[in-house]
Structure 1
Amino acid sequence: MYFAALLARTEDGWEASDTELDDVETLSDLADLAREAAPEDDTVLVLIEQEDAWFGVVRIDGEEDPRIYVSDAAAAARSSYGEILLTDELLGREPDDDPDLDALDLDGTEDGEDEDDDDTPATEAGVSGEIVPHGPVGDAQVLDDLGVSEKQLKSLSGDAVTEIAESLGASEVLETVR
């Protein structure tokens, strides 16, 4: 079960609206949807949560590129909504950089690579088959200037969207759309 909401910061405070992501296929679509929710070039946050498995924050400030934080990339990669947020740039990949399958041995390791390499982060294949890391990715300072520090953001679990809204002073408006 997913929950997605838009929080737009206006001069009167935060305004919330629930959002349907069924027609959103790309991060660009999501950014356009968020910009439509802001009367001016105000800050808009898109908060997405999947049943305590992962959450994502997308921040749009006017026409700037979206800033993204995802709490667990591997968990998000297993969902179509999460995959929207997991861009090549966010995951540190070159766009359209497909792994060279010819360089893989039959056991899945690269030529000359030890099978028991403990220095590599745990990874998992997502919906598209791309390998993504377990754990948080993106801009963990995305909410710093709004009162949610990097440390707080990384420590959130459970109902993270509600905790973020409480920290922003927007819990009442968020509850109206839940």
Structure 2
Amino acid sequence: MYFAALLARTEDGWEASDTELDDVETLSDLTDLAQEASVDEDTVLVYIEQEDAWFGILRVDGEEDPRIYVSDASAAARSSYGEILLTDELLGREPGAEDEIAALEELVDLDGTEDDDPDGSASSSASSATTTDRTTTRDADTDSDPDSHSASDSDSVPAGPIGELGILADFGVSEKDLLTLRTDALTEIADALGAAEVLEAVR
């Protein structure tokens, strides 16, 4: 179960709203959502939580690049919303690395038929059938669970927190404090921001 909320700082304090992520597919989409809620280009925080698994914070300050913190990268990597926050830059890998991996996997899935053997050998046909069965099973599993991803996606993602530990330091949430937050972290964050009451009104 997911919960997402948006906190926007104004001259009179914080404004809170619950956030629907159905139309959010990329980090750019999420950043645009935050910027649209910004008042005079002030700070906006987007909080995403998967119950008992992980939470993530996206911070947008005007036109500056978004800042991100994720409490458990490996858990988030198995989530469609978590993948939005886990950018190549955050994971320290070259942009497009996932595309290269997908291309290699596609090559492995080919049946291996040679140009001079149009029918292919029995062994290659058997290999093709096995590969096809495996691919079909994998696709079926993915279709049945929108948060499921292949092992290659999660294997390259480290366990534990990732991102900017000082993302809320100027609001009184130190790096140490952030690392100790687990489930329902938003309540403690809102308390530190002085936004507990406005948050409670939208929950």
Q: Same fold (TM over 0.5)?
A: yes
Q: Who is 2:188 aligned against?
A: 163
Alignment of 1:62-77 (within 5 A): 62-77=62-77
1:142 aligns with 2:167: yes
Displacement of 1:174 in angstroms is: 1.0
Q: Who is 1:29 aligned against?
A: 29
Separation in structure 2 between the aligned mates of residue 146 and residue 163 of structure 1, nearest angstrom:
12
Displacement of 1:26 in angstroms is: 0.4
Report if aligned partners of 2:35, 2:62 keep a CA contact under 8 Å in 1: yes
Displacement of 1:79 in angstroms is: 0.7
Report if aligned partners of 1:90, 1:137 keep a CA contact under 8 Å in 2: yes
Displacement of 1:39 in angstroms is: 2.3
The C-alpha deviation readout for 1:94-147, integer Å capped at 9, x for no partner, is 101245969xxxxxxxxxxxxxxxxxxxxxxx7264221100000010000011
The C-alpha deviation readout for 1:23-82, integer Å capped at 9, x for no partner, is 000001000000111121010000111102100010000000100000000111111110
Q: Which amino acid aligns with 1:17?
A: S
Report if aligned partners of 2:9, 2:39 keep a CA contact under 8 Å in 1: no
1:52 aligns with 2:77: no
Structure 1 residues without counterparts, runs of 5 or longer? 103-125
The C-alpha deviation readout for 1:7-27, integer Å capped at 9, x for no partner, is 001110000011100100000
If each structure's helix is expressed as a fraction of its own residues, which one has the higher value?
Answer: 2
Q: Who is 1:127 aligned against?
A: 149
Separation in structure 2 between the aligned mates of residue 28 and residue 146 of structure 1, nearest angstrom:
25
Separation in structure 2 between the aligned mates of residue 39 and residue 139 of structure 1, nearest angstrom:
23
If each structure's strand is expressed as a fraction of its own residues, which one has the higher value?
Answer: 1
Separation in structure 1 between the aligned mates of residue 90 and residue 62 of structure 2, nearest angstrom:
20
TM-score under structure 2 normalisation? 0.73
SS across alignment from 2:178:
helix
169, 174, 179: which one aligns with 1:154: 179
Percent of aligned pairs with the same amino acid: 74
Number of positions where the alignment pairs a residue of Structure 1 with one of Structure 2: 155
SS across alignment from 2:189:
helix
When the two chains are superposed, the root-mean-square deviation of aligned CA atoms in Å is 1.7
Separation in structure 1 between the aligned mates of residue 104 and residue 23 of structure 2, nearest angstrom:
33
Q: Who is 2:199 aligned against?
A: 174
Structure 2 residues without counterparts, runs of 5 or longer? 106-147
Q: Which amino acid aligns with 2:149?
A: V
Displacement of 1:159 in angstroms is: 1.1
Displacement of 1:171 in angstroms is: 1.0
Alignment of 1:72-91 (within 5 A): 72-91=72-91
Q: Which amino acid aligns with 1:13?
A: G
Separation in structure 2 between the aligned mates of residue 20 and residue 158 of structure 1, nearest angstrom:
20
Report if aligned partners of 1:83, 1:127 keep a CA contact under 8 Å in 2: no
